[in-house]
A and B are shown apart, each in its own frame.
Chain A
Amino acid sequence: MSGMSELYQNVILEHNRSPRNYRAMPDASHTAQGDNPLCGDQVTVWVRLAGDRIDDVSFQGAGCAISKASASLMTGAVKGKTRAEADVLFERFHRLITGGLAADERETLGKLAVFSGVSEFPVRVKCASLAWHALKSALNGRSA
């Protein structure tokens, strides 16, 4: 497979076409916006916490297929997780897209592993991690 088809795997193309949890969340407990000033990509992430657990998570924004699919898959991956579990996921995901994740750890990422091709395209790392950074600032920052 060439680098390009590795980057745009079918799961990514499909989530780009039909992103999951693509909606505003009026009763969110936390929210944050992520911007990539280099390319103008922008995403807003909403979270509703129940105690320490992510009860619901959603996003909206404008960006490339990588950033949109990443946000979509992220919402699926962190829903129901505790904040600490979400942190661990992000840390692993970040190592995946920067090429620093061992193969056995990759299996723990589930569907998120489709972003492994990003590591060959360093300029796209920001696209893939935009929503994750927004999620992190939402959870660490002000309440909605």
Chain B
Amino acid sequence: MTAPAAAPPLDVDRVRQDFPILSERVRGKPLVYLDNAATSQKPRAVIDAVSRFYATENANVHRGVHYLSERATVAYDEVRARVARFLNAPSPETIVFTRGTTEAINLVAQSWARGTLRPGDEILVTGMEHHSNLVPWQLVAAQTGAVVRAVPITDAGELDLRAFDGLLTDRTRLLAAVHVSNALGTINPVRWMVSRAHERGIVTLIDGAQSVPHLPVDVQAIGCDFFAFSGHKVFGPTGVGALYGRAELLEGMPPWQGGGDMIESVTLEHSTWARPPARFEAGTPMIAEVIGLGAALDYVETIGHAPIGTWEEELLAYATERFRGLDGVRLVGTAREKASVLSFLVEGVHPHDVGAVLDDDGIAIRAGHHCAQPVMRRLGIPATARASFAFYNTRDEVDALVRGVERVRRVFA
């Protein structure tokens, strides 16, 4: 993505003041938080929205006739419309609230795929999926007799698009692909992939957990049938996310969990289902978290996707350049289109030890397989260290990371 030249630059120092945790010290050092792909920090606006809800507005939704319940219901449903606008979905009714990306994908697997797939049908994923967009398909494959296939990846961490074309067959019923790889940062050409799949009438799901925090997402432009993301990675609370589903598909899907709020009428023998999205939201939802998610999306749009994109690209380019100058350090994932994720290896040092030494300097990174074991296996490595940047990170923090990695090299020399 490129920002229009007219986009005003991001005032990082100003933005950092919106995030209380960024002033914390850990292990006696100022916190350098570079684990944003695991979860992002929360601006004051989100923290306040959640506590304000509990302090002054708390009530259940879609149930009461009393004042607070009505207000909570309106606020909850307003966020549904807010999410729809954020993703450019055609209507609020195409947005189902879930606990997160994982639950959204499991919903599609158990509601749509389980009743649709036949023995021998194929589900096509990619070799760079997070386990959350792989294991639900393995489960439903075992239930239906369908088969999971995967688009291979190159040494640079890009999809092998020629192989992709060959893997779309007459048996393929679903393409479930990650938009941005959490382990490598690769941005996949999902719009093109979706259109190739649609030429064959294949239903498509995009895992947007890592794209929504970094890129403007337009589900109608991508053209996908389903799109899933998590609130906590886009500066909102944990425990909330959303599934976008094309209206015709959602209409035809059975419930996957039963309970309150998802019914039309219930007798002791039989129930009929509410229309989507209520059909897929059984039980009291995560109301405060949904309110917080709305505040997070407001916050992101106030800062602006264009300045965020420009600044994150600059940070990634700067970090990449500094890392290329380090002896004994190898970058893992060098796709041409990348989000601000830097996976790396320090020669002779296990990523956990890299993470432990950096932690001693107050620097938070992720070390491990990033819930993407097939990626690690494909690249022949057990794990990586991963720094992932958000728009509130600074060049000084990149410098601190580089100094930390130099210290790792000294400790383990």
Using a CB–CB cutoff of 8 Å, the interface residues on chain A facing chain B are 2-4, 7-8, 13, 16, 38-42, 62-66, 68, 121, 124, 127
Contacts and interface: CB of A to CB of B under 8 A. Distances in A.
Nearest to B354: A64
B356 A40 contact: no
Given A8-B411, A40-B382, A127-B352, 19 more contacts: A2-B27, A8-B356, A8-B357, A13-B412, A38-B368, A39-B352, A39-B368, A39-B369, A39-B383, A40-B369, A40-B373, A41-B382, A42-B382, A62-B382, A64-B351, A64-B353, A65-B350, A68-B350, A124-B352
Contacts of A62: 382
Interface in B42-62: none
B360 interface: yes
Contacts of A39: 352, 367-369, 383
Contacts of A3: 27, 360
Given A40-B383, A62-B382, A4 B357 contact: yes
B72 interface: no
A65 B353 contact: yes
Given A3-B27, A39-B368, A40-B368, A64 B411 contact: no
Contact of B356 (A7, A41, A42): A7
Interface residues of B, number: 19
Interface of B: 27, 349-353, 356-357, 359-360, 367-369, 373, 376, 382-383, 411-412
B107 to A, nearest CB: 26
Nearest to B361: A4
A124 B356 contact: yes
A127 B382 CA distance: 15
A56 to B, nearest CB: 27
Contacts of B412: 13, 16, 65
B411 A13 contact: yes
B26 to A, nearest CB: 12
A40 B369 CA distance: 7
Contacts of B368: 38-40
A19 B403 CA distance: 28
Contacts of B376: 40
Contacts of A42: 382
Contacts of B27: 2-3
A2 B360 contact: yes
A116 B353 CA distance: 17
A7 B352 CA distance: 13
Nearest to A7: B356
B286 to A, nearest CB: 27
B397 to A, nearest CB: 19
B352 A4 contact: no
Contacts of A7: 356
Contacts of B367: 39
Contacts of B359: 4
Given A63-B350, A65-B412, A121 B356 contact: yes
B360 A4 contact: yes
A39 B376 CA distance: 12
Nearest to A127: B352
A63 B412 CA distance: 14
A39 B382 CA distance: 8
The 4 closest A-B pairs by CB, nearest first: A4-B360, A64-B350, A64-B352, A65-B353
